[in-house]
Amino acid sequence: MFFLGNFADETAFKQWFHAALLRLALVGGDAASYQMTHDPASAARFTALDSKSDYLAKIKTAKDHIAKGDIYQLCLTTELQADYVGDPLALFLRLRRAHPAPYCTFLKTEHGTYVSISPERFISVRGSRVTSSPIKGTRPRSNDPAEDLELQQRLGSDEKERAENLMIVDLIRNDLSSICESGSVNVESLLAIRSYSTVHQLVSDVSGELVESKNGFDALRALFPGGSMTGAPKISACAILEQLEKRERGAYAGAIGWISATGDMDLGMVIRTAIFEASRVKIAVGGGITSGSYPATEHAEVQLKAMALVEAMGAEVSW
């Protein structure tokens, strides 16, 4: 969990830091009390920018590009929008308890407030060691233990999902090879199944040792934007996404976390994130399209990924 801010000088930072420690003690010690006095952010109905038929048509276009050899994977996304009332921090406290995730983040800036339950590590740098952990491959959870295990096993054996993950692993290996010692880039974990509150995911861990002349900032430049949120090859995928999505993603699919002055960092991917701006809230969702994708299945996946945030806000979605 990260609480971040922008400061004019060291004095302003220290004032904020001490106030934040006090607030954390109060909220962390009695989050339920905070939520009792602050209504969590809520919405009545989200509207998807792409209707179901439009999204299915875009998937077909993506597959046409794949068939022509322009790309071999595309992370196609859409966005949900709604008016909201209530307190984003109270919503975050609710989500943190109900949907714990490695990169749970609350970030308030002059541009908006970000409430994230992201499970995905974009980049971690410790000294010369750099790691990225792409997530590609999704199945829903079930309340029935036997069915939940079956869903997990199906994910692990699904050739389309495995291929999707492997493509991004190869992309990240290539990105890291440009700033890491020759022969040091390794896949530490391949196609591991990690389970979260609403989904099972396929996750791989790719690591390398930075060459002596490079630091974490160089690694961030080499990896950004994250391959799991673009597709591959990255440049071609981004060009096609610009044509298909016809909107700026903003912070979505970016990175959020902390960076030290030495270049050490731990940044999560900005996914499973609600972005509050004035009286509007936005939730972007997407999925990887490959030659083996079934459009209806891909559309169902984006609905699944939006579910935790939408339900936490007591809302419905007009797809």
pLDDT of residue 14: 76
Residue 249 makes CB contacts below 8 A (sequence gap 6+) with 77, 284
C-alpha closest to that of 124 among 206, 225, 229: 206
Every domain of the chain and the residues it spans: 42-318
User: What pairs with residue 145 in β-bridges?
Assistant: none
At residue 16, the pLDDT reads 78
Q: What is the pTM of this model?
A: 0.85
Active centre residues (catalytic): 120, 136
How many CB atoms sit inside 10 A of residue 23's CB? 13
Q: Going along the chain, which residue ranges are E strands?
A: 45-48, 73-83, 103-109, 112-118, 121-126, 129-133, 135-140, 186-195, 199-209, 231-232, 255-259, 265-269, 273-277, 280-289, 316-318
Cα angle vertex 198, ends 155, 100, to 5°?
120
pLDDT of residue 44: 96
pLDDT at residue 27, rounded to an integer? 56
CATH of domain 42-318: 3.60.120.10
Residues in the chain with pLDDT values less than 50 = none
- pLDDT of 22 reads 63
